Each structure stands twice: as structure tokens, then as C-alpha cells.
Amino acid sequence: MFLDEIGELALPLQVKLLQVLQDREVRRVGGSKTKRVDVRVIAATNCDLKEMAENGEFREDLYYRLNILPIRIPPLRERRADILPLAEYYIDHFNTAFGMTKMLSRPLKHLLFSNRWPGNVRELANLIQRMMVLSKNDELGLEDLPEEYRDSKGLESESNSLLQLTVEQAERNLLEDALQTYKTTYEIAEALQSSQATIARKMKKYGLASTS
């Protein structure tokens, strides 16, 4: 059972959820008998539940009951290499769903890459869908961006984003080519006149793998 935005759960309902997790029993609304349940619970939130528990906004006993195997997913601004692949994924997804043949222009990719995405993947997906539905063009461009995305509040300069995107793509291509010849990060580091730690970090950043 997936419980999204668990931090928004009202305190009275937190008590009931804690009881279900502890006793593994539920009682239907209006019912008089309890029923045993066997479920695994996954809860998600963008809130700091520990801080909320310390402030009395979230039950501490429920926090520790849920916090058995925490998994932190970094926001998009901390994993920019994922932004454009995700954008392309949603372009393909909505093209199939809507029977379209839309694509992203290069200038639009630059701006998508530079955005901070406070709403993370959900915001990116919603923006892609919004532009695809409203635009009459097969190639989505800067003119298809909603007004709130055209100002400079959430965007870096286009030149800076283009430079960063170009550098990262060049780094990835160089490492991919090196993997065709060398098998370990030590060999690649020696060939590229870099340190093994730097090569290992870059490989992890771009999702590339070597033997060591």
C-alpha cells in the first residue's frame, strides 16, 4: 500500500494508521468486527518528518514505525543529467498517448536543463504535457513555454546552461569512448591524465560502469 504525502495526514488519522501498523487489523467504516490484513506499506513525503515529530506536528511513534528503510530520492536540481532523458521520456509517452509527433527544440532543451524544478519530476511531466496539448507546432520551442517559465526567476542564463550541457555531453562521450578501450577507472584515469577518484565520480554521475 502506497501512502503519498504522509506528512499531510491529520493527527487523528495518524493515530489510526499507527494502530493498523501495530495490530495489523482494520475495521470498516460502520462495521463492528476487525479484519486481519497483511500488507507492506510504502510512505512518501517531501517534508522533514523528523523535524515535524520534534515540533509535535507528526506523531513520533508513527515516524519511527514508518522509518524502517528510508530511501532518499535527490531532487532534479541535484541530478541534472536526468532532466533531458526524463523530458524525452515524457515526450515519447505523451506522443504515444495522444497520437502526436512532437519534439523538443534545442533552445527549449537548454532552458529545461537550467530550470531548478522545485516541483521535481511531476512538474517536468506536467509542463511537457501542457506544452504538447496547447502547442500547434510539432517542434516545441521557447514560444510554447507558459508565461511563468519565460522570466528569469527560476532560470540561469541560457549561455551558461548551454555551456554546462555541452561540457557534460562532451565528458560523457569521452568516457564512453574510453570504455571501449580501457576496462578500469585506473586505466581510464591514466589515459586521460586525470585522477581515479575524478573518473569514478564522473562515471557514477553519467551512469556508466567499469570493472573497478
C-alpha grid cell, residue 153:
526567476
Query: Total structural domains in the chain?
Result: 3
In a domain, 212, yes or no: no
Does 31 share its domain with 95? no
Q: How far is CA 88 from CA 47, 116, 167, in A?
A: 29, 18, 20
Statement to judge: residues 58 and 80 lie in one domain: no
Asked if residue 84 and residue 141 are part of one domain, the reply reads: yes
The residue out of 22, 44, 66 marking a domain boundary is 66
Domain with residue 132: its CATH number is 1.10.8.60
How high is the pLDDT of residue 131? 96
State yes or no: pLDDT of 2 exceeds 60. Answer: yes
Phi, psi of 32 (to 5 degrees): -120, -10
Residues 83 and 101 in one domain: yes
Domain membership of residue 120 as a residue range: 76-149
CA end-to-end span of the chain: 38
- Asked if the structure places residue 182 within a domain, the reply is yes
Mark whether 85 and 127 lie in a shared domain: yes
Instruction: For residues 62 and 80, state if they share a domain.
Output: no
Based on the domain organization, do 48 and 96 belong to the same domain?
Answer: no
Are 111 and 146 within 8 A, CB to CB?
A: no
144 and 169 belong to one structural domain: no
Q: What is the average pLDDT across 33-51?
A: 91
Half-sphere exposure of 98 (CA within 13 A, CB side): 18
- Check which CATH number belongs to the domain holding 46 and give it: 3.40.50.300
The answer to whether residue 211 is domain-embedded is no
pLDDT digits (tens, 9 = 90+) for 56-80: 999 999 999 999 999 988 888 888 8
Last residue of a domain, one of 122, 149, 176: 149
Residues 80 and 145 in one domain: yes
DSSP-derived pairing of the beta strands 35-36 and 103-104: unpaired
pTM (2 decimals)? 0.57
Please state the rounded mean pLDDT for residues 160-183.
75
Q: Which residue has the higher pLDDT, 63 or 158?
A: 63
Do 80 and 133 fall within a single domain?
Answer: yes
Could you give the angle at which helices 196-205 and 158-181 cross, rounded to 10 degrees? Answer: 110
- For residue 100, the Cα-to-chain-centroid distance in whole angstroms is 25
